[in-house]
Structure 1
């Protein structure tokens, strides 16, 4: 059987930052969900000074995908080579390299290369992959520039927890079946969940605020039965530039502790549009925390009631 053709791309950008600062962001894949728009979640599988294996979940042309990559570090030359161990259809194989090059007057040029093969060498698949690589590469390089040129942008992280007199499985089931939330949660006006790959969900939700207004968000959720669901909003409320979160379900003796954690960034350029001419980033942070914590507690308490109602009920 003939091997499908290899296709190559290269994208680049110049940033106003020292090469070491740029390389540090690229080397720390665990922070990528907060840096790169397409990246939803990264799981570190193994790591040493020379290479690492990571599991990545990200969007490609708006679709959630997951794959495992091996990365090799060349810190002296400021290069990181990567190769997918198991690709996601329609990609048959993919690899590439981050190349960080010192520029003039403290600037840095970053080059991102890719080489890939499409499944069955299908022309439609080649176009789909090329579009995804181009879109994600441009988004990642622009986000990298923002991250290294504006390191003072602060993220806010907070969490809420409840203790459940019920099983972790019951709590997890409630959280995993988000497609039923519009029936079970008063603040969810409508919801659509698509799960083409098991435990990888694309969710569009219309949330009802206390004043009766609604806003729509789009999220990708990565589910790890029966203990963890991580997510990233691809479409955020107007005040937020970033929203990632996780639902953690932890057995504790004969009880279960369930926690909702959020990491958010405020869209500073939209504050006055939403809050009025006198609105401040501090007010926006306070409003975001209250709204997200309020909705989290509604969901946590509903999950608690659901799990506790199943105790001793037997199979259903």
Structure 2
């Protein structure tokens, strides 16, 4: 029988325990809050449990797995167990535990228990390394968000851009999915390197030109769902942001399709004056980032429109 290993990672948080617990319990915001998390899909959910699929980086590689989580809000705990683990993990589970220190501070603990495929020593080393890196990043993410909870509505925002296309959804999807061709198809993309070792899981680095002529380098991981949705997370973001996620969706509409680009951003307040200049505020940064992202997304959608409508024509 495989040996079961245990780890514990913890951090002190200058925020009430309930605030910390609510962040742990809401997986829909994990891709924005936790650096390793790329995307989370709910497969089932009720008041006391949920079944989710997670895409996340581990030791530089992108992994996906399905977990079941159980909630005990009265104890401020969330337990989890992977249904099917990815080698070298044979099995893994654990518990998030939030303990109130006083009314304004708390202790957050993340417990893991796991077994290793064939009890291989190199597998054990890989898992411990991944747990140290990801647990540290997740705890740091929760700490930062919880301690800024009173400003989160100001720093975090979501917006959509939608374009109606009188063309076939398959052609629109081809345009969005084949990001490796964007330097040829999109004038604001100066360079794009894309790898897709696993079908539907894309890793890309892109140089984007902005309206003022500057070039920004971003790195992203994209997850492709069927032929009507692509979600992504930027793993390297511009200096004004701490997080940026997005998605492209294609919805049938009459003889054509409505194509929507959605962005969710968390701003970095300490970078505002450094990037935008003295006297600039978070509100100015919201407007600047919104305009820049919306301009590029709308340009991409309009080129997808021209491509799809030309193919139909």
> Which residue of structure 2 aligns with residue 39 of structure 1?
37
Q: Deviations over 1:11-60 (max 9, x none)?
A: 01121222222211111111212221211211111112222101111111
| 8 Å Cα contact 1:178/1:193 also seen in 2 | yes
Q: Distance in 2 between matches of 1:75 and 1:284?
A: 36
1:212 maps onto 2:213 in alignment: yes
| 8 Å Cα contact 2:28/2:40 also seen in 1 | yes
| 8 Å Cα contact 2:209/2:215 also seen in 1 | yes
1:291 maps onto 2:284 in alignment: no
> Which residue of structure 2 aligns with residue 95 of structure 1?
93
Q: Distance in 2 between matches of 1:106 and 1:210?
A: 44
Q: Distance in 1 between matches of 2:119 and 2:200?
A: 28
| 8 Å Cα contact 1:181/1:188 also seen in 2 | yes
Q: Which runs of 5+ in 1 are unaligned?
A: none
Q: Deviations over 1:60-105 (max 9, x none)?
A: 1232221110011122222211011112233222111111122245
| 8 Å Cα contact 2:89/2:117 also seen in 1 | yes
* Aligned-residue offset at 1:149: 1.6
Q: Deviations over 1:144-171 (max 9, x none)?
A: 1122221113312111111111111111
Q: Which runs of 5+ in 2 are unaligned?
A: none
> Which residue of structure 2 aligns with residue 308 of structure 1?
309
Q: TM-score, normalised by structure 1?
A: 0.93
> Which residue of structure 2 aligns with residue 164 of structure 1?
165
Q: Distance in 1 between matches of 2:70 and 2:282?
A: 40
1:16 maps onto 2:17 in alignment: no
Q: Deviations over 1:264-308 (max 9, x none)?
A: 122111122212223322222211111111100111011111212
> Which residue of structure 2 aligns with residue 74 of structure 1?
72
Q: Deviations over 1:84-141 (max 9, x none)?
A: 1112233222111111122245421111011222333333332222111111111111
- The CA RMSD over aligned residues, in Å, is 1.6
